[in-house]
Amino acid sequence: MPRGRTLWFAIAFATLLTFFAAGFCARSLADGEPDPAGTPRSALAGVAVADLPEPARATLDLIDAGGPFPYPQDGSIFGNREGRLPERPRGYYREYTVPTPGEPDRGARRLVVGQDGDIYYTDDHYRSFRQVLR
């Protein structure tokens, strides 16, 4: 094969391979498969840990350490009855209270953690969620 044709073929092949790889990665993340860091991703908006309120970051530290938790409900099964999180079997999600300063009770803020390491934050008592990105 002449040199020009070989170069053209190599460039075309590399381009096709790049498009195939990019499409595969985009499909994987959209389907809830693990991203390269290993955390399952959802279609929900994301929030970086650094952008969470300080009490949410403190609750996340407690979750990572395995407790102790300030409320007896912390670690209980979150049923996802509203269907706002990705559908998973019952028992997959656990919920934890994020204290709200000035609230006499648990308040509306929660972290919900999936068995595969996916974490979601709500500040409006389950009406909306953002996925915590680590």
pLDDT score for 1: 53
Tell me the whole-structure pTM to 2 decimals.
0.71
Specify the CATH superfamily of domain 39-133.
Microbial ribonucleases (3.10.450.30)
User: Would you state the torsion angle of the CA atoms of residues 127, 68, 89, 121, taken in this order, to the nearest 10 degrees?
Assistant: 30
For the chain, the first-to-last Cα distance in angstroms comes to: 50
pLDDT score for 41: 79
Where do the structural domains in the chain lie, given as residue ranges?
Answer: 1-31, 39-133
Average confidence (pLDDT) per 10 residues, the chain, 134 residues:
54 42 39 51 90 97 96 97 95 97 92 96 96 94
- Known active-site residue 103: no
- Known active-site residue 82: no
Contact between 130 and 53 (Cβ < 8 Å): no
**Residue labelled with tokens 């959802």:** 42
Q: Active site residue: 33, 54, 82, 125, which one?
A: 125
| SS3 at position 59 | helix
